[in-house]
Amino acid sequence: MDSGIRVDSESLTRFAMSLFGAAGVPEDEAELVSISLVGSNLRGHDSHGVVRIPGYLPLLETGELVAGAELVVHSETAAMLCADAGFGFGMVQMTRLIERLDEKVDELGVACGTLVRCGHVGRVGEWAELVASRGRAGLVTVNDNGVLKCVAPPGGTEPTLSTNPIAIGVPTGDQPMVLDISTSVVANGKVLVQQIAGESCPEGWLLDSEGQPTTDPEVRFSDPRGTILPMGGYKGFGLSLLLDILVGGLSGGSCPPAAADAPGTNNVLLVVWDPERFAGAGHFLGEADRVIEFVRGVQRMPDVESIRLAGDRSRETMRLRLAEGVPLDRGTWASLCETAEGLGVEPPTTETRA
């Protein structure tokens, strides 16, 4: 999807910061959230990029998102932390959670943390990557507090679970390797992007409210609701169900169906390991590099130029978008400009390409 509108990433980050600032978000939080969102755009994850800003800002007015929220600890031991994010920005509270767990991992070699009532954390792979960039291994997963229901069980027609993503990040001798996937065939945000852009979804993403295949993204946002297919059929749905129970149960949040007045927030589960405390960092990195080299070196089919692994596409997309600008569909750009007009913020100059 490329409408021809492109914005330099630095200009887009400043624009995002200006929007948040005009809405009353402190500068440090506005910068952190903006860098995170534009970082998703740079990596090709547009569903978790600046398209989210027009949805975030009204939540500040309703109190479903709180600027300057503190991280309040409910329960803590040497190895775990259970905290209330107080509806704070997910990017802000995830950064704080990782910092707190870092101290515990330094002491014990492993730590686990949860957040309840957390604002949208964005791309979960960002947090697994942050952990792995510090030489640790991490697993992060979130649910939507039982409120956002997108996926029907195999054989069902009603949405029951959210897309419940999971990300695993590990250090290697080169760059961290991060797997970031939803337990559905596609993230709900990607359906949103298609809807805003006025484009159909690929076949194999959606079922309508009667359980029939469709490519119309509107089925996800009109009643009766259609559903997103689970990844790998019953396997993906089973994984999603167990992750939902772990996240909701351990964090103090909700699994579906949530109470009628439950807030539509993220709840978070994060586990961090220090390889040095197990078989040693040298062994871990050596094995990681060895298996990566082995997989990349496998004999390829005639039309395959190279074996692509987790993160390869994102890095290549980032290289191109840093050089050429971030592409935005006209629907997303119009929504951002409308938001900017309401806040008295001047949008940056765009480049239009044929």
338 burial (CB, 10 Å; 0-12 / 13-18 / 19+) is exposed
pTM to 2 decimal places: 0.93
| 4 pLDDT higher than 80 | no
Phi, psi of 66 (to 5 degrees): -125, 120
Burial 221-242 (b: 16+ CB within 10 A, else e): eeeebbbbbbbeeeebbebbbe
pLDDT of residue 76: 98
Any idea which of 39-48, 214-223, 254-263, 343-352 has the lowest mean pLDDT? 343-352
310 burial (CB, 10 Å; 0-12 / 13-18 / 19+) is middle
Mean pLDDT, rounded, for 169-195: 94
DSSP 301-350: -TT--S---TTHHHHHHHHHHHHH-EEE-HHHHHHHHHHHHHHT-PPPP-
Of 71, 219, 254, the closest CA to residue 146 belongs to 254
Which carries the bigger pLDDT value, residue 230 or residue 350? 230
DSSP assignment letter at 221: T
What is the Cα–Cα distance from 232 to 236, expressed in whole angstroms? Answer: 5
Dump pLDDT digits (tens) for 267-314: 999 999 999 999 999 999 999 999 999 999 999 999 999 999 999 999
DSSP assignment letter at 74: E
171 burial (CB, 10 Å; 0-12 / 13-18 / 19+) is buried
pLDDT of residue 19: 98
Provide the β-strand partners of residue 266.
118
Phi, psi of 112 (to 5 degrees): -135, 140
For 103, other C-beta atoms within 10 Å of its C-beta total 12
| 106 pLDDT higher than 90 | yes
What is the Cα–Cα distance from 181 to 230, expressed in whole angstroms? Answer: 12
Of 150, 139, 144, 151, the closest CA to residue 121 belongs to 144
Q: Name the pLDDT band for 36 (thresholds 50, 70, 90).
A: very high
Domains and CATH numbers, the chain: 1-62+324-354 (1.10.1530.10), 69-184+230-296 (3.30.1370.60), 185-228 (3.30.60.50)
Burial 192-206 (b: 16+ CB within 10 A, else e): bbbbbbeeebeeebb
pLDDT of residue 262: 94
CB 266 within 8 A of CB 115: yes
**What proportion of the chain, given as a percentage, has pLDDT over 90?**
94
pLDDT of residue 2: 54
Any idea which of 30-44, 49-63, 135-149, 189-203 has the lowest mean pLDDT? 189-203
Which carries the bigger pLDDT value, residue 257 or residue 192? 257
pLDDT of residue 196: 87
User: And the tokens for 336?
Assistant: 């951002």
Alpha carbon distances (Å) from 135 to 110, 127, 130, 178, 269: 13, 13, 9, 13, 19
pLDDT of residue 197: 85
What is the Cα–Cα distance from 218 to 196, expressed in whole angstroms? Answer: 10
Q: Which residues contact 248 (CB under 8 A, 6 or more apart)?
A: 143, 145, 146, 254, 255, 267
Q: Which residues contact 31 (CB under 8 A, 6 or more apart)?
A: 17
Q: What is the mean pLDDT of the chain?
A: 95
* Distance spanning both ends of the chain, measured CA to CA: 13
